[in-house]
A and B are shown apart, each in its own frame.
Chain A
Amino acid sequence: MAKVIVVTSGKGGVGKTTTSASFAAGLALRGHKVAVLDFDVGLRNLDLIMGCERRVVYDFVNVINKESSLKQALIKDKHCESLYILPASQTRDKDALSAEGVERVINELKESFDYIVCDSPAGIEKGAMMALYHADEAIIVTNPEVSSVRDSDRILGIIAAKSRRAEMGEDPVKEHLLVTRYSPKRVRLGEMLSVADVQEILNVPLLGVIPESEVVLQASNAGAPAIHSAGSDVAEAYGDAIARFLGEERPMRFVNEKQGLLQRLFGG
Chain B
Amino acid sequence: MAGTPDFFNDDPVVLDLTTIKDDEELPNIQEIAHTLKRYKLVLVGVANGSVPQMHAAQALGFGLFNSATAISKKNLKPEPPPVTSKTKLDERTNEQPQVISHNSARTTKIITTPVRTGQQVYAQGSDLIVLAPVSAGAEVLADGNIHVYAPLRGRALAGAKGDTSARIFIRSMQAELLSIAGSYRVINEQILQEMRGKSIQVYLNGEQLLMELIP
Contacts and interface: CB of A to CB of B under 8 A. Distances in A.
B49 interface: no
Contacts of A203: 114, 132-133
B6 A153 contact: no
Nearest to B132: A203
Interface stretch (A40-48, A114-122, A126-134, A156-164): A156-164
Interface in B138-180: 138, 153
B117 A153 contact: yes
Interface in A227-264: none
Contacts of B132: 203
A201 B6 contact: no
A154 interface: yes
Contact of A161 (B5, B114, B135, B137): B5
B118 A154 contact: yes
A150 B137 contact: yes
A154 B116 contact: yes
Interface size grouping (class) on chain B: 10 to 19
B116 A160 contact: yes
B119 interface: yes
B15 interface: no
A157 B119 contact: yes
Contacts of A161: 5-6, 119
Interface string B121-135: 000000000001101
Contacts of A201: 133, 135, 153
Interface string A147-174: 0001001101110110000000000000
Nearest to A203: B114
Contacts of A156: 114, 116
Contacts of B138: 157
Contacts of A153: 116-117, 135, 137
A133 to B, nearest CB: 15
B136 interface: yes
A157 B133 contact: no
B35 to A, nearest CB: 15
A139 B34 CA distance: 33
A157 B136 contact: no
B113 interface: yes
A156 B137 CA distance: 13
B5 A157 contact: no
Nearest to A167: B38
Contacts of A150: 117, 136-137
A158 B118 CA distance: 9
A26 B177 CA distance: 45
A116 to B, nearest CB: 25
A174 to B, nearest CB: 14
A154 B113 contact: no
Nearest to B119: A157
A157 B121 CA distance: 12
B140 to A, nearest CB: 13
A168 to B, nearest CB: 12
Interface in B91-115: 113-115
Contacts of B135: 153, 201
Contacts of B119: 157, 161
B196 to A, nearest CB: 14
Contacts of B114: 156, 203
A158 B6 CA distance: 10
Contacts of B118: 154, 157-158
A154 B138 CA distance: 9
A158 B136 CA distance: 15
B215 to A, nearest CB: 25
Given A150-B137, A203-B114, 14 more contacts: A153-B117, A153-B135, A154-B137, A156-B114, A156-B116, A157-B116, A157-B118, A160-B116, A161-B5, A161-B6, A201-B135, A201-B153, A203-B132, A203-B133
Shortest Cβ-Cβ A-B pairs, 4 listed = A157-B116, A153-B117, A157-B119, A153-B135
26 contacts: A150-B117, A150-B136, A150-B137, A153-B117, A153-B135, A153-B137, A154-B116, A154-B117, A154-B118, A154-B137, A156-B114, A156-B116, A157-B115, A157-B116, A157-B117, A157-B118, A158-B118, A160-B113, A160-B116, A161-B5, A161-B6, A161-B119, A201-B133, A203-B114, A203-B132, A203-B133
